[in-house]
Every structure is written in C-alpha cells, then in structure tokens.
Structure 1
Amino acid sequence: MNGRTAVELFAGPGGMTLGLHGVGIHGTGIEWDANAVATRVAAGLATAHGDVRRYGPADFPTATVLAGGPPCQTFTVAGNGTGRLALAGILAAIKRMAARGATPYSFEDDRTALVLEPLRWGLEAVDAGRPYELIVLEQVQQVQQVWNGYADALTAEGYHVATGVLATEQYGVPQTRRRAVLIASLNRPVALPQPTHRPYRKGVPQHEGDHRLLPWVSMGDALDRPSPFTVVSNYGTGGDPRNRGRRTSSEPAFTVTGKISRNRIVAPDGTELPRFTAAEAGVLQGFPADHPWSGNDIPQQIGNACPPALAAALASTTRTHGLEVAA
C-alpha cells in the first residue's frame, strides 16, 4: 500500500491521518476548525484549512484514497440527536445522490448534512473517471444505517463494501468506544478488520479470554501514573447523575469525549488525584504521548478524533487473507 495518496475529510487533529501513515498512506487533510488545524500544523501534517463543501476530487487529483469521519454531534447520544431524527431524510438523499438526481436537502442542524459529503466526493470521483481505489469512513455507532445506505450506493458503482460497528479496545486502544465504519475497495473484496485484542467485559481479567488475541489495554498499561486509581465518570448511570460510572486503572477508559477533563480521579483511599492532562487524554484516544496538542478546546479535539490504531486497521483490511489492493 506504499505510495498511495489520500484526501481526508473532516481531518481533525490527526487521528485518521496517523493511522493512514501507519500503513503507508499519505496525503492532505481538510479541516475547518482553527484549533484542530493548529494541532495538525504543529504535528507537521499536511492540511487544507477550509470547508469540505468548498472542495471536491478535482482539487486533489492524485488522491486514490478517500477517508474521513464527519462531525458526530447531531448523532451522538450525548449530543442533540437531530441527526438521528433526520435519518429518513438522509437515507432518501443518499438514494437521490446515487441516482444522480437533484439533491436538495435541508436539516434542522446544518451539521447533519455533512454526513453526506463523503458520498458526494466518492460519486464525483466516479463521474470524473477517477474513482477512489479505497474509501475509509468512521463515525459514532448511530450512523451505521447511513453507512449501510452508502454501501448500497457504492456497490452499484462497482465497489466491494463492508460496514459494521467495531469496539476500539479490540484494536489496542485503551478505551471502550464503539464506532460505525465503512470500507469500500474498488479492486478487491474487502472485510472488516479482524480484532487483535480481546473484548472488554466488566469483571473479566485481561489474561482471560481467547488465547489467540492479545489482552485489552488498560489505563494503567497506557499511562505513566505511579499508583492505581479509579476514574469517576462525568456521566450518570441509568439517568441518575448521582450514580456515576467507575473504572479502575486496571480497566480500559470510558469513551473519551470532549468532557474527559470533568472526570474525577481518586486513589484507592479516596484521595483526589490530578485529573487527566491533555497528553493523557490523547494517549487514551490512542495518540502518541508527545502529540503536540495546540490551539484551544483541546479536550474537544481529542474527544472528536478517530483513534489512530482503528484507522490503521481499517485502511489495511484490503490485505486481509493475503489480498493486496493494486497500487
């Protein structure tokens, strides 16, 4: 896969980018948020600072890979949910786009329509006679039905497509995070990546489970903290804010969100400990400890990012069972 070039939509602070780099795919990421752009620039990642809606495949003619993760705020359980309410309209828009019909769409929240941008790019590339060889997308699990709609549209264009919901701890990320993913390959059959690590189950130790898989990675494994600790989640359990979720340092982190700095950290004796730093939050999302977080709103940058290990697994699946994508 060496030498392949990507254009990455909604590139954020570099999670998908680093994952692509890990399997030899380089290119340019498009990102509108100035804070995420500051982090990308500090990390030396090629970046176009702008709105993906103002660009298209013709602006990146050498790219053979399309990747990205549209904004999730209107689809998340923690968000406002307007994207989920607009699902029927989104699926109808996908069908109109696939049929090359007029595609006027309007949603209560403008961000909801951004989930259609990767399909616009993919279809425009097909119509220009330069279809992307590989398409890699990820989002919160509530977007799975949208990716299934994409799969129908892309299959009709000759792509081999796989979609599903993956658990990030099964790819070595030290947190439990479920992501809806889509992989489309123009030249070869494709499948979701095989897990490399065991699934996390409350109360089941790391060393137990499928011996063919590595143990999941705990917070204690990933972070340089000298003693055990317990994380008290910012979110209530069962709708009761007084009933906070808890995980010890011998477990993976809860899903990393932009509110991770609100999580309390306590010692075994109940003493309050320093909360996660930006670097630590980044590590729990799968970034290197020295990733140069810059700009403002860093917790939100981290929470919105794609874990690099997951991106690498997705981008390398066309090599599963000895299959190689044509360079």
Structure 2
Amino acid sequence: MTSPEPHQPILDNPFVLDLFAGPGGLDVAGHVLDIPSLGIEWERSACLTRYAAGLDTLHADVSAVRRDAFESLPPEINVLAGGPPCQTYSVAGHGAGRQALDRVKVYIERLMAGDSDHEIDEDLKTLTDPRTALVLEPLRYAIQATRSPNREHRPYDVIVLEQVPAVAPLWEHYAKVLEETGLPDGTKYKVVVGILATETYGVPQTRSRAVLIARREGFGEPSLPVPTHRAYEAKEWNRKNGTGAADQARQPTLDEDTRSGSDEGLRPWRSMRDALANPVGSHRGRTTPFLVRSNYGSSGHPGRRGVRTDRQPATTVTGRISRFVVFEHLDENVVYEGPRFSMNEAGMLQSFPPDYPWSGTAQAQQVGNAVPPLFGAHLLSSALGLLEPDPETLRKPWQRATEEQRAKLRSNGCGAADACTDRCPQAKDQVPPPSSVRPRKGKKEAAG
C-alpha cells in the first residue's frame, strides 16, 4: 500500500479501543468523527458518566481484560488508543514514574523481545507505585493482538497515545522499538512523537500533552495534527494587557489582534469567554467579565499560574477545577466573588459539549483527567487521514442516553442494568495505595 494523500482515509472502517477511557474524551472525539469506539474504564463513577452519555463501555481493569478476557473484545477493532493514568509521571504527583523511566524502558525492551508476561508481571511488583506500570499496557495490548486467535493474529493498524509531557521519553522509546525492533511477531510501525499545546487546536485551555501516533507499515507515514489556532504566551499577554487583576478589569473588551501570536492563517486561541459567554442548552452563559484565581500550575509552566481573565484560555483543568475561585467585577473598582465553575462549565473548558451528563462522585476529577475531546478529534483525524474536525459539533448540547439505552450499556459493561457485578473492579481496589515517593520539600508542583 502506498502512502496516502493528505486527508485520504487510511482505513475503511476504523473502530477504536480506548484504554483507560475515563468519562469519554476520546470516545466523544470518535463520535464527532463518526467512528465507533469501545472504552475500558475501571473507575465506577466515570463508567456511570459514560453510560449516561451513551458510550460503549467495559467496567473493568485494563490489565485484567488483557490477561483474562482479550478474546472477548470485538475482533474488528483496528485502532488502539488511550491515555494511561498520569499520576506517577505528572509533576503534580509524587514522581515515582519519573524516577522509574529507565526501568520502564527496560520493560519495553523485554516485551518486544517476547519475554513471558508472568515474569514481567512478577518484576513489575517491585515498582514503588504499581500505577507506573500502566504506561506499558498499550504496548502489551498491541502485542496481545498479534497472539489473538479471535483476531486471526492481526495487529492493530493504528495506535494513538497521549500523556503528560514527562512521559515523552517513553513514547520516544516506544517509537524506537516499534520502528526498529518491531513486535515479537515482526510487525513494525511508522511513528511520530511530539509535545502539543491543546490551545493550538481550539481548546479554551492551556494544556501540554505528549502524544504518539503510529501506523502499521504499509499505511503511510503518520504526522502530528497541524495546529489550527495560535499559541498562548503568558509573557506576551501580560506585556500587552497588564499583570494585575485591576489592570485586566479595566479592559472589558479584547481586540483579536492583541491575542499573542501572529502566525498567518491561524485563528486566535479561544478564551474562557469564547467558551462560556453564550447560553447553550442548560448553560445560561457567563456574561459578566470575570477573573479566575488558581494556585495550581498549568502544564508545568510556573508563568501560567495565578490570575487569568475570561479573555484568556483557562489554566490546565485538573481535578481541582471546583476549587478555582471566580471573581466578577461590576466595574473597574468593584470586584466580588461569584459562582465557581459548574461541572458543565468545567467540561466546556475541556471542550466537552454542553450538558454532558457528568455522573457519580468525584466529577471534578473526571473532568480534569479526561482527554479534551476536540484535541482527541484532531489526534484521531491526523492518525486516520481524515479532514480536520468541526469544532461546532462539540458546542451543541449532548443528548443524554435514554434509560433503556443506559440500562443496556450498563448490562454490557457491568453485567446488570442497574448495578455492578462480581466481574467489575471492587471498590476497595479503586484507589491505588499511596506512593512512598514524595515531592522534595519546598518544591512547587504544577499540574500535568
């Protein structure tokens, strides 16, 4: 097969398996692109959100499915995607994953060499934080696909992964072995890796992600998605608009020309006002200018901390989004604390559609952990040779699943229409044990 032309689909019927699927960021991206997907997620509340959103889901441990139920997965799946949990790699976490990077690279080499799963599993038990090993699961799934009789030993055609920037060295090592060594059966891939800023793809939020896109040999050279919007530069913004709340309160409007960046052909980055000002669905719109104060960093860049106005992108949306303090000002001298972001609004800052049915507990954590759907749509589009996604699709209210649809999805995902069953992960296992590794005292950490 020759290399496809730009925007020429490389697969006739793409079908995505979304590992560590969370509340549905990549699945919503697939919905925008009319691509079916199946998500595997072990956290109960995230599954409740997915069922309410009408997303096909297995409430299960990704590792357990690979070990015990891989043959039950639909054999027509040809795209592997996912974002393994980032806590041990994020600079907001304890750092066990960052400190184990070299060890994890050795495990990658061993997997590609065909070492037994049992031996590797035993060795992985020595890691300080067991979540560190989850970054290996996409590779283990790729290998398992070639050993699956149900799939007739057919490899995945496309792999799309995203994680916090600290995982970039592992994605680079993935790329090296996928291109040079190949899977144990000899399958090789063409791979591209990069660190991308989500605001350059129209997400109203500054968030940096390490991404990997791989195509099986014969399906052409992969490429990273082309940015559609300008990058946000905090220093440039502060130089033009002032750095204090009073300075920013005195500027009720914003000429697009003052938004940082002058790249020809790129649209201005989207602000919180762009995302939240207009009423849509049950969202009434935030028409009063506001400031957001966060003591949580953004994508590891200390310069992005602090106060932002509604005329800037949000800082990285994390599980602490519900703690962000929102100040509204009636005029340049009167500022008061207004309502904090609702989960609907927090989701919209992640580019989820309005009225996405956030369910269960820890909803702020679900929002913060999710892949921004618009960003995910750009990744899938580039990986599959599709046209640039239409962001307007994500600005329309999401249609909640009917009770009948939700019950059917939960029966498939949990085994019962209104309850978890013995096949679901147990509640006591939902929260991994705390890592013994702690940040150095006095060191300020930022969000992943």
- Give the TM-score normalised by structure 2: 0.68
CA distance in 1, matches of 2:164, 2:356: 23
Question: Which residue of the partner structure matches residue 144 of structure 1?
Answer: 168
Consecutive unaligned residues of structure 2, counting only runs of 5 or more, are 1-8, 238-257, 277-284, 388-448
Q: SS at the partner of 2:40?
A: strand
**Are residue 267 (structure 1) and residue 328 (structure 2) matched?**
yes
Q: Which residue of 2 aligns with 1:177?
A: 207
Aligned to 2:72: 59
Q: Is residue 11 from structure 1 mapped to residue 21 from structure 2 by the alignment?
A: yes
CA distance in 2, matches of 1:171, 1:201: 15
Matched, 1:211 2:276: no
Alpha-carbon distance between aligned partners in 1 of 2:199 and 2:268, rounded to the nearest angstrom: 9
Q: Return the letter of the residue paired with 1:189.
A: E
Q: Secondary structure in 1 aligned to 2:354? A: coil
Q: Show the counterpart of 1:116.
A: 136
Counterpart residue identity of residue 108, structure 2? I
Deviation at 1:209, TM superposition (A): 1.3
Q: In structure 1, which of residues 12, 20, 23 is the aligned counterpart of residue 30 of structure 2?
A: 20
Native 8 Å contact 1:170 1:196 kept in 2: yes
Aligned counterpart for 1:199 among listed residues 227, 231, 250: 231
Where does structure 1 lack aligned partners over 5 or more consecutive residues? Answer: 323-327
C-alpha distance in 2 between matches for 1:200 and 1:96: 41
Q: Does structure 1 residue 47 correspond to structure 2 residue 100?
A: no
- Distance in structure 2 (CA, Å) of the matches to 1:86 and 1:208: 37
The separation in 2 between residues aligned to 1:146 and 1:199, in whole angstroms, is 25
Normalized per residue, the structure richer in strand is 1
CA contact (8 A) 2:204 2:349 kept: yes
Letter in 1 for 2:16: A
Provide the C-alpha distance between the structure 1 equivalents of 2:383 and 2:345, rounded to a whole number of angstroms. 32
Q: State how many pairs are aligned.
A: 319
Name the counterpart of 1:79: 93
Runs of 4+ in 1 over 6 A off after TM superposition: none
> Is contact 2:231-2:260 (8 Å) kept?
no
- Helix, strand or coil for the counterpart of 2:289? coil
Q: Against the structure 1 CA distance between its residues 37 and 321, is the aligned structure 2 distance closer, same or farther, given a 3 Å change threshold?
A: closer
**Aligned residue among 342, 349, 370 for 1:284:** 349
Deviations 1:121-170 (A, max 9, x none): 01121344211111111111111011111112221332111111100000
Match of 2:84? 70
- Look up the match of 1:257: 318
Matching of residue 35 in structure 1 with residue 42 in structure 2: no
Q: 1:234 to 1:132 in 2, by over 3 A?
A: same
In 2, Cα distance between equivalents of 1:126 and 1:195: 34
Given the alignment of the two structures, is residue 301 of structure 1 paired with residue 366 of structure 2, yes or no? yes
User: What's 1:225 paired with?
Assistant: 286
The letter of the residue matching 2:274 is D
8 Å contact from structure 2 (residues 160, 383) kept in 1: no
Q: Answer yes or no: is the 8 Å Cα contact 2:88–2:96 preserved in 1.
A: yes
Q: Quick one: structure 1 residues 101 and 319, their matched pair in 2 at CA, closer, same or farther if it must change by over 3 Å?
A: closer
Alignment partner of 1:163 is 2:173: no
Is contact 1:234-1:259 (8 Å) kept?
no
Q: Report the equivalent of 1:325.
A: none
Paired residues of 2:294 and 2:325 also in contact (CA < 8 A): yes
Letter of the 1:66 counterpart: L
The separation in 2 between residues aligned to 1:67 and 1:159, in whole angstroms, is 15
Q: Deviations over 1:166-190 (max 9, x none)?
A: 0000011000000010111112210
- For 2:249, the equivalent position in structure 1 comes to none
Measured in 2, the distance between the counterparts of 1:206 and 1:37 equals: 39
Query: AA paired with 2:42?
Result: W
CA distance in 2, matches of 1:179, 1:110: 22
Structure (1 or 2) with the larger CA radius of gyration = 2
Q: Is the 8 A contact 1:188 1:318 kept in 2?
A: no
Over aligned residue pairs, what C-alpha RMSD do you find?
Answer: 2.1
Instruction: For residue 319 of structure 1, report the CA deviation from its aligned partner.
Output: 5.5
CA contact (8 A) 2:233 2:260 kept: no
Query: 2-side partners of 1:236 and 1:180: how far apart?
Result: 17
The farther-off stretch of 18-27 and 81-90 is 18-27
Q: What CA distance in whole angstroms lies between the structure 2 residues aligned with 1:288 and 1:23?
A: 14
Aligned equivalent of 2:443: none
Distance 1:59 1:149 in 2: 30
Instruction: Write the distance in 1 (CA, Å) between the matches of 2:214 and 2:312.
Output: 33
Find the aligned partners of 2:50 and 2:321 in 1 and give their Cα distance.
21
Structure 1 distance, partners of 2:350, 2:386, is 28
Distance 2:386 2:374 in 1: 19
2:376 equivalent to 1:311: yes
